Amino acid sequence: MLDFLKELPKVELHAHLNGSLSISTLRDLGEKVYGENTEEFLELCARFIKFDRNSKLEECFEKFAFVHELTSTEKGLRYATEFAIRDFAQDNVQYVELRTTPKANSHYTRREYLHYVVESIRSAQTKYPKIMVKLLASINRAEPVAVAEETVSLALEFAKTDGDIVVGIDLSGNPARGKFSDFIPALRSAREQGLKLAIHCAEIENPSEIKEMLAFGMSRCGHGTYLSKDDLTHMKRHNIPVECCLTSNVKSGTVSSYEEHHLKQLMEAEAPKVLCTDDSGVFDTTLSMEFHLATQTFGLNRSQCIELTKEAVHHSFASSEEKQKMLIKLEEFLKRNP
Ligand code: 6MZ
């Protein structure tokens, strides 16, 4: 089964760029940024050992700060983007929607951040032509609303010149921080001007916020762990898929075990869903492994895995032509693996 899943031309819809760098990729990156055997590189290697993986959601956000150090220069960011795409391509992901929070520091502005990522996606596309890549600009809810407004206006600007890559906005960040309603005007303006919205919703228990988010609406829902039965009915009625990230949810402690994962309720309710990695680097997983976990835990068979992939094609922010291409790849795979 794992071989079949590794070969399957998969579709990844929820992948944070800086969370998608595995330990070995971070080493590759460290080497590029600091050079091999430099003091900085050796110090970095020593810190990797302390980079323990099984912690709670709050602690995950501290780990991102560690990765962010490595991507805080133009060179680091460009390589990180390329390596993340390389790693998804190696797992036979045929389409990935990366999402990342434009950042500003002494090396780049938020506009430059997006520019480097987009350029790096373009060059990675020539190096790894089998994978199609799109980008969502993330709003970090822990940051001020003014930053969210800037992110939306930059995403709109890039959508004009690089609309084949920049397709939407993601709302993410520590769900215990920030107030959703503060971000509504920026999100509404993005939607009204044609950007798709993927929103981290119900990652933690917060019934009033979940209500606000569902009333506002979204194209896709990140995590959806604490959605009630009625909420699931709503998702089904409005055809909003839940981006299920099994390993992320269990390792960060928002779901108590794989068996308890809400993928089960979503399948029983025949509600829309997609399987995703979230942060394949931080949680040490791949999309093939996420599918494998679903087959092991919930007894999904091969054709259910194909159906889930088709569902992901359908809910992707790709054009109809691009979706058609993905389905053809799936058909070809099925002919080779009847
Ligand atoms: C909410 C998350 C997340 O943007 O620097 N991020 N936000 N819930 C999660 N579940 C574990 N995983 C990642 O990628 C890292 C950033 O993505 C968001 C956080 O804001 C994190 O800092 P970028 O590429």
How many C-beta atoms lie closer than 10 Å to residue 193's C-beta? 13
Output the CA 84–ligand 1 centroid distance in Å.
15
* Ligand 1 atom nearest to CA at 68: 5
What is the tens place of the pLDDT at every residue in 204-233?
999 999 999 999 999 999 999 999 999 999
What is the tens place of the pLDDT at every residue in 50-61?
555 556 787 778
Output the CA 254–ligand 1 centroid distance in Å.
15
For the Cβ of 64 lying below 6 angstroms from any atom of ligand 1, the answer is: yes
Whole-number pLDDT of residue 52? 54
* Ligand 1 atom nearest to CA at 142: 20
What does the pLDDT average to over 73-86?
97
> Which residue shows structure tokens 């080497």?
31
Separation between Cα atoms, residue 204 and residue 227, nearest integer Å: 10
What is the chain's length? 338
The domain tally of the chain equals 1
Burial of 19 (0-12, 13-18, 19+ CB in 10 A): buried
Among 13, 26, 55, 61, the mutation site with the greatest number of ligand 1 atoms within 8 A of its Cβ is 61
Q: What is the CATH number of the domain that holds 86?
A: 3.20.20.140
* Ligand 1 atom nearest to CA at 64: 22
Whole-number pLDDT of residue 51? 53
Interface predicted TM-score (ipTM) over 0.90: yes
What does the pLDDT average to over 148-158?
98
| Cα 170–Cα 275–Cα 91 angle in degrees, nearest 5 | 100
CA 158 to chain centre: 19
For the Cβ of 151 lying below 6 angstroms from any atom of ligand 1, the answer is: no
Distance from first CA to last CA of the chain, Å, rounded?
Answer: 13
40 is catalytic: no
Whole-number pLDDT of residue 134? 98
Separation between Cα atoms, residue 305 and residue 193, nearest integer Å: 34
What is the tens place of the pLDDT at every residue in 228-267?
999 999 999 999 999 999 999 999 999 999 999 999 999 9
Whole-number pLDDT of residue 320? 98
For the Cβ of 101 lying below 6 angstroms from any atom of ligand 1, the answer is: yes
Output the CA 173–ligand 1 centroid distance in Å.
5
The whole domain housing 216 covers 2-336
Q: Which of 12, 97, 203, 290 is the catalytic position?
A: 203
List strands edge to edge, sheet with 166-172: 10-16, 93-100, 132-140, 166-172, 196-201, 220-223, 242-244, 273-275
pLDDT greater than 80 at residue 315 = yes
What is the tens place of the pLDDT at every residue in 9-36?
999 999 999 999 998 899 899 999 999 8
